[in-house]
Amino acid sequence: MIGPPDVTDLPPDAKINEPRLRLLLAAESVFARKGFDGATVRDICDRAGMNIAAINYHFGDKERLYIETVRHAHSCSVADAGPALDHSGLPPAERLRAFIAGMLRNMDAPVRPESMQLLMRELSQPSPATISVVEDFIRPMAMGLFAILAELLPEMPDRQRLMVGFSVVGQCLYYRQNRTVSTLLFGAAAVDALTLDAVTEHITRFTFAALGLAGDYPSVVRREGAV
């Protein structure tokens, strides 16, 4: 199953020598706890062990530092998005399965608690940082998925295709966002047995069956049995 968040605290310390990264990690921790308005430049620089001028040098101002910190937190919480998109030579049914596999793989990156806390704070109180993350990281994957669905389901109204896309993404996100609750309900051994391959096959089979298209992806049905 999608791996648990990385609970190892990674504050800036003597082992992190790159000044920009020290500032980003310090800012991530401070912004996650205090939010943009509650955090001060001095808080961040003290945690990074650097002087205030370093923020101006590397980022310009607090607002730009915040945007770059949210972008960094997001990029560190996912793997490379490329594998989820680079399947242009495959038929649409195969591309959808590849997209699902790629999205699950992307979410297998360990997550620092501060990264998740900052991202959840940003989602609940969106700022220009959210726009930046959506445009540069999320939009390309979303548009890739909806292009696949448009080819796979050409007669389906756009409104319904949009909901199908949300359903596919929602199934993938469940395995990361709800791991703790799933473990409490069913135990670690049962949850750990849900490998990336097993989850990929299940979501693919489930989606095609729900769309009445199980016959369009027979390799899944042969491996796993008809739904």
Three-class DSSP category at 9: coil
Q: Does residue 38 sit in the same domain as residue 144?
A: no
pLDDT given for residue 79 in this prediction: 61
Say if 216 falls within a structural domain. yes
In the chain, the number of structural domains is 2
Q: Does residue 137 sit in the same domain as residue 112?
A: yes
Q: Does residue 69 sit in the same domain as residue 128?
A: no
Range of the domain at 165: 79-224
Q: Does residue 84 sit in the same domain as residue 71?
A: no
Q: Does residue 212 sit in the same domain as residue 118?
A: yes
pLDDT given for residue 215 in this prediction: 73
- pTM for the model stands at 0.76
pLDDT given for residue 90 in this prediction: 80
Are 214 and 96 in contact, with CB atoms under 8 Å apart? no
Q: What is the CATH number of the domain that holds 25?
A: 1.10.10.60
pLDDT given for residue 125 in this prediction: 87
Say if 4 falls within a structural domain. no
| Of 38, 59, 75, the domain-final residue | 75
Q: What is the pLDDT along the chain (227 residues), one digit of tens a residue?
A: 444 333 334 444 434 568 999 999 999 999 999 999 999 999 999 999 999 999 999 999 999 999 999 999 988 877 655 544 556 678 888 899 999 999 998 877 667 888 889 998 998 889 999 999 999 889 999 999 999 999 999 999 999 999 999 999 999 999 888 888 999 999 999 999 999 999 999 999 999 999 988 776 655 434 444 33
Q: Which residues contact 25 (CB under 8 A, 6 or more apart)?
A: 10, 11, 12, 16, 48
Distance, in Å, from the CA atom of 92 to the CA atom of 89, rounded to the nearest integer, reads: 9
Are 8 and 112 in contact, with CB atoms under 8 Å apart? yes
Encoded amino acid at 109, one letter: A
Q: What is the CATH number of the domain that holds 210?
A: 1.10.357.10
Q: Does residue 92 sit in the same domain as residue 67?
A: no
| Of 55, 75, 95, the domain-final residue | 75
pLDDT given for residue 226 in this prediction: 38
Please choose, from the candidates 123, 167, 129, the residue with its C-alpha nearest in 3D space to the C-alpha of residue 145.
167
Say if 56 falls within a structural domain. yes
Encoded amino acid at 148, one letter: I
